[in-house]
Structure 1
Amino acid sequence: MASMTSLTNDLSTAEQITTADPTTTPLAANGWKADTQPVGHDVIIVGGGAGGIGLAASLLRREPALQITIIEPSEKHYYQPAWTLVGVGQFNPDNTVKPTPNLIPATVNWLKHSAIAFDPENNQLTLSDGSVHRYKNLIVAVGLKLDWGGIEGLEETLGSNGVTSNYRFDLAPYTWSLVQKLESGRAIFTQPGMPIKCAGAPQKALYLSCSYWESKGVLSKISVDFDNAGGVLFGVAAFVPALMRYIARYKVNLTVNSNLVAVDGAAGKAWFAVKDGDGQISRVEKSFDFLHVVPPQVPHDVIKASRLGNADGWVEVDQKTLQHVRYPAIFGLGDGCSAPNAKTVAAVRKQIVVVAENLLATRKKLAPVTEYDGYGACPLTVEIGKIVLAEFGYGGKLMPTFPLDPTVPRRSAWILKKSVLPAIYWYLMLKGREWLARPRKV
């Protein structure tokens, strides 16, 4: 997504673990010590999701002879933005996944391992097989971690007892099964505290499900709750009135400052920590027949334990150049970096160009030449067939690609998301073709 790139990260890049906790790996547990002779590389990219593969392709289009290594353990790559559509029967889940080796550029060296430790002072890192690798430049594109265990009882009941989430490939079809079967009762949708992949994604599941129930004439028999841990419905104020009209249309019981903390799927009960106007927190119990959960989302442990992360554990980069603030040979992009933008694929699409141009400039001993403006996009699927195409940058500045009122739900935006953006992702973004992704020069 980027500009027209609304290749939204409804749910960002591929959900693969490209890093591991060095204190829990078998090698560390057995007291194994890494080889003292590191393998040399020119450019290492940690992470083979949208950011990692897209960046490799963009770098090679600029310098075809560049030697690039991608570190990525997963053999499957997912287009997560479509999972919200899978959850309401509007997209084939098989079309959201492709083999990783089919997407990595042919001249790129692929190491099918995880990074377990970083040593930026010595320009090297250690992999899960114990090998040590030295680099001239490092790009960290590891994404974030979905903390399913952060909600008591959730992992034990996910995928059963009416508890589901569109944030997992295997569960989005279960969401659709539940939506079709529910004709009465109570449906609860949750949103955790920020940051998360695409802040609008939890609402998309809500609106699309309600739209389906409305079309089947059963919405009036279903009590719908949306429990949002944040203090507002959406972080960019310009889009809130349009969204509130749909909250009213679907008769949704909206509760802000309400965070899901525990689930008992077999009993059909969920508990929320609800903060009142005085900051006092109470525990509220709710019964449910359908529960769509969005898990808390946190940095990977290996970044938090390294010198690459900030106080919160995100890769600490300059928000404009995306260069690491302490290690000039390192850049970060995607959901795992500290830039205060919306964590969407649209953001990654523009970040790729910024990192590619600034990395090559620094290799020539030049200052960064391109700036990232915080662009992100979130196609808000307010009903089946219509979308509010939210595009914005740092500070909530509206950045629409098209000369239309971006707060108006449109059929054209639905066609864009469902039919055009997946093709842009697979055949442009991951191939280094930067259509409508050009950021501004410094």
Structure 2
Amino acid sequence: HFVFGLISQTMAAVLASPLAPIRKGSRVFFSLNSYFHCSSGLASKEHYKIVVLGGGSGGITMGARMKRKVGAKKVAIVEPSEMHYYQPIWTLVGAGAKSINSSGRPTASVMPSGVKWFKSRVTKIDPKNNTVSTDSGKELSYDYLIIALGLQLHYEKIKGLPEGFQHPKIGSNYSLQTVEKTWNALRNFKEGNAIFSFPNTPVKCAGAPQKIMYLSEAYLRKTGKRSKANIIYNTSLPVLFGVKKYADALWEIVKSRDLNVNLRHNLIEVRPDKREAVFENLDNPGETKIFEYEMLHVTPPMGPPSVLKGSSLEDEAGWLDVNKDTLQHKTYDNVFGIGDCTNVPTSKTAAAVAAQSAVLDRTITKVMKKDKPDKKYDGYTSCPLVTSYNTVILAEFDYNGQPLETFPVDQGKESRIMYHMKADLMPHLYWHGLLKGLWGGPGPYRKLMHLGMK
């Protein structure tokens, strides 16, 4: 008792000393002077059962689902943005059919109540030690990690951008700062070439680069300027669309509306002062062609989140390396991924996030119980191909590029009903279904729609 009492008194004196706490970075060291010699410090950490990186569609959705699974106080979400945007609607914003304000809500309003929100950027992920560092100096430790960091836009990889957006007649529906520039370029169009590009990288919503082309053509037709416009779609891809059924339907539209499509053409430079766009012929590297433009819509090159680089979480291309069936990381069993940041071989869309969220929820439940994941993601994704101001071809397909249609009609045809679903129903489903963790895609309803035949 005497010894323990002496130690207690000694420690109390040390801790009370003004010389005791010496802060160094995020660690606190105690100088015990003549009492003790201590050379190591304790890191200041906060621990959560589940940490979610990213507050986009995948992050908020999984945050809501994990809150119900383990309780709000055991879940943390790291997201720096004060605003959350429903980006699929930007196609219609760029065409003047929706306002930019209708696409955003404060992040605080969609954040699952009760979970800890760190308004910071992730600066380091250390899966070996189960920790995450942020630019605010916080270090979070976790039992399970969900990575939903989306992807990064790289306008700077096109010579002349992003500074070229300061000039009129050029826009991009992929950025909050440039989407309204698309609408300005379209409504101020006089005559000449209207050019739409698709980059030589994976992109989110692979149909969007041509959706704005169809809408622009419809607008020019409606305003009597169509005869003065030469509409050009230059894509790096060898096909118009990755799923043959829908590609065939789109080629018919291209022919009937007199649109010019150049395959394997990649935008490498913009000269806004001359209104010139330079494209490389990917089938003959080094060969370039200059197109003059009156309007230019740029889809930027895109890539994985830079924070994944060197983390041992990424594949050779830099994307989060997950099992395509279960969305569990291939190396670290307590790490999972969802959405655009992953290397699952399907299109990067909000519809894919919905279907993935239901599978990932089940996967995490099994892993927590030390069981093997038993539910598989089939690669389902959806792309409502807007072909005018009142028609849509609703493309739905799986990993194999096979149509996986929900409705008992031929979705390869233009439909007014599908347009209203895209423009009016889907945003409601996003805000009140998906982000609440209540919508896992149309899979369960597909058989019902097809009377059990599919």
TM-score w.r.t. structure 1 length? 0.89
**Match of residue 136, structure 2, among 93, 107, 129:** 129
Q: Alignment identity in percent?
A: 36
1:370 is matched with 375
Q: 1:67 to 1:175 in 2, by over 3 A?
A: same
Which digits, 9 at most, give the CA deviation of each residue in 1:187-221, with x for residues without a partner?
Answer: 11100023100110000010100011112221121
Give distance in 2, aligned partners of 1:114 and 1:399. 37
Deviation at 1:64, TM superposition (A): 4.1
3-state DSSP of counterpart to 2:137: coil
**Match of residue 100, structure 2, among 80, 93, 102:** 93
Give distance in 2, aligned partners of 1:58 and 1:41. 15
Give distance in 1, aligned partners of 2:211 and 2:363. 35
Q: 1:159 to 1:83 in 2, by over 3 A?
A: farther
Structure 2 residue 251 is matched with structure 1 residue 244: yes
Give distance in 2, aligned partners of 1:346 and 1:275. 30
Paired amino acid for 2:115: V
Give distance in 2, aligned partners of 1:308 and 1:299. 12
Deviation at 1:59, TM superposition (A): 2.5
State how 1:158-173 maps to structure 2 within 5 Å. 158-173=165-180
Which moved further from structure 2: 336-345 or 248-257?
248-257
Give distance in 2, aligned partners of 1:383 and 1:281. 36
Give distance in 2, aligned partners of 1:228 and 1:382. 17
Higher-Rg structure is: 2
1:23 is matched with none
**Match of residue 308, structure 2, among 303, 307, 318:** 303
Give distance in 2, aligned partners of 1:364 and 1:201. 41
**Match of residue 108, structure 1, among 93, 115, 129:** 115
Give distance in 2, aligned partners of 1:378 and 1:250. 21
State how 1:322-337 maps to structure 2 within 5 Å. 322-337=327-342
1:403 is matched with 408
Structure 2 residue 243 is matched with structure 1 residue 233: no
3-state DSSP of counterpart to 1:370: coil
User: 8 Å contact 1:353–1:438 — kept in the other structure?
Assistant: no
1:5 is matched with none
Paired amino acid for 1:408: K
Structure 2 residue 203 is matched with structure 1 residue 223: no
Give distance in 2, aligned partners of 1:265 and 1:65. 50
Structure 2 residue 170 is matched with structure 1 residue 147: no
**Match of residue 427, structure 1, among 411, 432, 435:** 432
Give distance in 1, aligned partners of 2:285 and 2:60. 46
3-state DSSP of counterpart to 1:189: strand
User: 8 Å contact 2:168–2:185 — kept in the other structure?
Assistant: no
Deviation at 1:175, TM superposition (A): 1.4
Give distance in 2, aligned partners of 1:65 and 1:172. 36
2:322 is matched with 317
Paired amino acid for 2:220: W
1:182 is matched with 189
User: 8 Å contact 2:83–2:105 — kept in the other structure?
Assistant: yes
Give distance in 1, aligned partners of 2:305 and 2:26. 21
3-state DSSP of counterpart to 2:218: helix
User: 8 Å contact 1:143–1:336 — kept in the other structure?
Assistant: yes
Paired amino acid for 2:67: L
Paired amino acid for 1:199: A
2:393 is matched with 388
1:294 is matched with 299
Give distance in 1, aligned partners of 2:410 and 2:70. 40
Paired amino acid for 1:267: K
Structure 2 residue 78 is matched with structure 1 residue 71: yes
| Paired positions, count | 407
3-state DSSP of counterpart to 2:142: strand
2:18 is matched with none
User: 8 Å contact 2:198–2:209 — kept in the other structure?
Assistant: yes
3-state DSSP of counterpart to 1:311: coil
**Match of residue 344, structure 1, among 336, 344, 349:** 349
Paired amino acid for 2:420: I
- Displaced runs of 4+ in structure 1, greater than 6 A? none
TM-score w.r.t. structure 2 length? 0.87
3-state DSSP of counterpart to 1:309: coil
Give distance in 1, aligned partners of 2:323 and 2:116. 28
Paired amino acid for 2:366: A
Deviation at 1:163, TM superposition (A): 1.1
3-state DSSP of counterpart to 1:425: helix
**Match of residue 273, structure 1, among 275, 280, 291:** 280
Which digits, 9 at most, give the CA deviation of each residue in 1:211-259, with x for residues without a partner?
Answer: 1111222112111111101111111111112101221123222111100
Paired amino acid for 1:343: K
Give distance in 1, aligned partners of 2:205 and 2:72. 35
State how 1:37-56 maps to structure 2 within 5 Å. 37-56=44-63
Give distance in 2, aligned partners of 1:288 and 1:328. 51
Give distance in 2, aligned partners of 1:437 and 1:359. 21
3-state DSSP of counterpart to 2:248: helix
Structure 2 residue 433 is matched with structure 1 residue 418: no
RMSD over equivalenced CA pairs, Å: 1.6
User: 8 Å contact 2:384–2:393 — kept in the other structure?
Assistant: yes
Give distance in 1, aligned partners of 2:147 and 2:237. 29
